[in-house]
Amino acid sequence: MKRVAVVAALIATLSLVLGISAQAPCNFKAVEKQQAVLSQQVLVLRTNFLTFWNMAFPNGHARLHDNEAERTSAWNPKLDEEQRNAPKMNDGLGCIVFYKPNLPSLCAPPDVRAQLAMEALREDWENGKVAPKDSLLETIRPTIALTWAEEQTMFCILRPEADYISLGDQLQSCTPKDAK
């Protein structure tokens, strides 16, 4: 019940911030801007997670699961010649970042970015289950859950007909069955 209240509050908050309602058309520029902010939060959170992971397991740990290669290949846009020749990095969250002045990043639509972020955060959530008690790795798990819920809210606002995999590895629907 608490999770439903948190998700409802996040939907209400994002709806107010982004100007989204069931009757009004979506303000796509605002959605893109909010997704860019969320993606930055996810990148920082994932970097912190991996740093804390290395602190908790300095000799490595066999259980670390990472499907970044799959996420990276999930969105591969066509690049023009200048983009192909520029130094670049695919962040695995739906953006190709170019390391060349005046060449902006090339990012997937917000729903794709939200879905890739949810997948990455779900991996971190699962990996974090083996965190030693009282470690920094253990303390970051609630932040992973909160950030995942923000991404899930964004994804479901943009794709209400879609299904997704929850943090508990359950297939969920953006629109509850009784609301369809």
Mean pLDDT of the chain: 84
pTM value surpassing 0.85:
no
When mean pLDDT is compared over 35-39, 55-59, 133-137, the highest value belongs to 35-39
Rounded mean pLDDT of 22-30?
A: 66
**Picking from 19-28, 69-78, 130-139, 151-160, which range would have the lowest pLDDT averaged per residue?**
19-28
Give the gyration radius of the chain's Cα atoms: 17
Phi, psi of 63 (to 5 degrees): -85, -10
| Residues near 167 by beta carbon (within 8 Å), at least 6 away in sequence | 121, 122, 125, 145, 148
pLDDT band at 86, cuts 50/70/90? Answer: very high
Quote the pLDDT of residue 178: 72
Which tokens hold the place of 137? Answer: 């790795």
Residue 142: its pLDDT value, please?
93
CA dihedral sign of residues 22, 27, 32, 33 = negative
pLDDT at residue 71, rounded to an integer? 85
Does residue 113 register a pLDDT over 60? Answer: yes
- pLDDT at position 3 is 46
Q: What is the pLDDT of residue 120?
A: 94
Strands 106-107 and 163-165: unpaired
Q: Is the pLDDT of residue 117 over 80?
A: yes
